[in-house]
Amino acid sequence: MPIHSPQVYSVSMDELRKLFNHSIQTGMLMVDEEEKLLLATDQLLKFSGYSVDEITGVAFSQFFKVRSSLRELYEFHFNNEMDVGEWPHVFLKGKHGGMIYFQFSMLKLTQGDRTIYLLSFKNKEEGQQLNLLQRFSDAFLKDINLGVLLIDMDYRLADISDRACQMLAMEKELVRNKSLDEIFASVPSQHQLVQKTILNGAIVRNHAVSWTNNQERFELLLDSNVLKDGHGNIVGAYVIFKDVTNMRSLEQMVWRSDRLAMIGQIAAGTAHEIRNPLTSIKGFLQMLRRTFGERGMDKEQSFTDVMLGEIDRINALVNEFLMLSKPKHVAYERIHVTEVLHEIVPVIHNEAILYNVQLHHEASPHLPEVIADNELLKQVFLNVCKNGIEAMPDGGVLTISERVDTIERNVCVDIHDTGSGIPMFVIDKIFDPFFTTKDTGTGLGLSVCQRIIHDMGGTIRVASKGFGTTFTITIPYT
C-alpha cells in the first residue's frame, strides 16, 4: 500500500507506549529529534541481540548504518507516494557480529514541544525470511571448507569462517568486529590477505598467496568482490580463499623428482669416472705432502693440504650425487621414530653445544610404528637438525617434537629453530637441487632428504615467518 504525503501527528507518550504494546510482533523503533533511541519492540531487540538498557539513550548511528540523517531521509523519501519495495534501507549492527538488513517506513510525530520519529520495519514474515538467510549464512561460514572473510564499510571484520580461523591461526571471538589493520598489524602491507582497495570495488580472481600461521604454511587461491544493496550501493566486501597447498606441493615434487632423476642418472654414469682419477691424484698428493714435510718445505706442504681438502669436497659431492638416484640396499622395516631420534640426540646435542644452542626433545610415548629405513631416517633427521643449528650462529633453541596426526594417519616430527627465519623469496627454492644459502654448501642436502622421505611415502614441509623455521617431517603409519 502506498504511503501518502507526510503528516505530523501529535500524540502523548502513553499513546506511543500503547502503540508499541500492540506492535509487539513488529519491528518498531522510536527515536527523538537528536536521533537518540527511546524505545524498541521485542522483535527488533531479538534481531539485534541487545537489551533495552543497552540501546536506550544511545545514538541511532551507533547501531544503525544509513546514508543520511533521519530528518533528511524523512524529507526525501516520504514527500512522495512510495510502494513498500521503495522503502529506504538500513543496516543494523548485531551485538554478536554481522550486519542485518532491513527496510523501513517512518512517521514524524510531536509530543509536546519535541519531535519524535517512529520507524516501522518490515513485517514478521519478512523477518523470518531474513532469519532463514541468516541461518544459511551461519551454516555456510561454519561448515564450508573454505576461508571466508566478510568486511564492512568501516574496514572491520564482520564475520569469519571456521576454516579461515584454522588457516590463519585466529580465534573468531577475538578478531570479529576488529579493524583489519589491527588484525594484520604484524604483516607487511604487501603481504596482507586483504587490501583496503577491496571496498572501492577492486575484484580479485584466483590470486595465489602464500601464508604462514607460525605452525604451517599454506598456498591459497584467493577471490574477492564487493557486496551491494538493492540500489547498487557498496555495503561491504567478501574474501574467499581455498587451500591448494597439496596441489602446489605435488606439482613442485613432480618437478623436483624429474630433475633429481635426471641428475641421478648422470651421476650414476659418471661417478666412477670421476672417482678413479681423483683417487690417483689424492694418492700422489699425499706422497708429495709427506716428502715436503720431510724436507721442511712448509709452504709447499700447506699447498697440498688445500688441494687434499678440495679433493675431499669433490668426493663428498660425488657421494651426494649418487644418493640422488634411488638409494641402493634400502632396508624397509617396522621401526619406532622415537627410538631413531633417541639414538641420534647425543650427536645433535654435541653439535648444538658448538653453536651455543639449547636442544629440547619432546618425545611422544605412544607413537605408532612406521615402515622406513632406520639409517636413512637418521640421515634426514641429522641433516635437518644440523641446518637448524647452523641457522642460529648467535645461539638459540632447537626443539624436536613428536606427534601423531590421526586424521591423515601420519607420524610427524617438527624440528623448530629460533633463528632469523627463511625469506619468502627463498623458501620455495630450498628443496631445489644445487640451491643453497651457505658459502660452502652443495645445495643437495635437503633435496636428498626430500627424496628419502618421498620414497617412504612421506613429506617434508617448511614454515617460516621471520622468527624461526619449522621443518615438519611426516611418515605414514598403517
Q: To 5 degrees, how large is the angle CA 191–CA 194–CA 195?
A: 90
93 in Cβ contact with 14 (< 8 Å)? no
Contacts of 206 (CB under 8 A, 6+ apart): 221, 222, 223
pLDDT string in tens for the chain (478-residue length) = 333 333 444 445 555 555 555 444 457 788 888 888 888 877 777 777 888 888 888 888 888 877 677 777 777 655 555 554 456 677 777 776 666 767 777 777 766 677 888 887 764 444 444 455 555 566 666 656 678 888 888 888 888 888 888 888 888 888 888 888 888 887 776 667 777 777 777 777 777 777 777 667 777 878 888 887 767 778 888 888 887 766 655 556 556 566 666 666 666 666 666 777 888 788 888 888 888 888 888 888 888 888 888 888 787 777 666 665 555 556 788 999 999 999 999 889 988 998 999 999 998 888 899 989 888 899 899 989 998 998 898 899 999 999 998 888 899 999 999 988 887 767 777 777 666 666 555 566 787 788 888 888 888 888 886 678 899 999 998 7
Q: What is the pLDDT of residue 438?
A: 63
Neighbours of 367 (CB within 10 A): 19
- How far from the centroid of its chain's Cα atoms is residue 303's Cα? 54
**C-alpha–C-alpha distance, residues 51 and 90, integer Å:** 20
pTM over cut 0.85: no
Cell of 151: 568486511
Question: How do strand 396-405 and strand 410-417 relate by DSSP bridges?
Answer: antiparallel
**Three cell numbers, residue 366:** 605412544
* Gap between the terminal Cα atoms of the chain: 70
| One-letter amino acid of 369 | E
CA 45/CA 52 separation, integer angstroms = 7
User: In whole angstroms, what is the distance from residue 233 CA to residue 153 CA?
Assistant: 11
Bridge partners of residue 224, in order along the sequence: 204, 239
> How far is C-alpha 379 from the geometric centre of its chain's CA atoms?
31
d(CA 277, CA 308): 13
pLDDT of amino acid 356: 92
Q: Which three cell numbers stand for residue 112?
A: 509536546
361 — alpha (psi -120 to 50), left (phi > 0) or beta? beta
Residue written as grid cell 517512518? 106
CA 349 – CA 354 distance, rounded (Å) = 9
Phi, psi torsion values for 110, nearest 5 degrees = -120, 140
Whether the Cβ atoms of residue 206 and residue 153 lie closer than 8 Å to each other: no
Return the pLDDT at 123. 47
**pLDDT value, residue 92:** 77
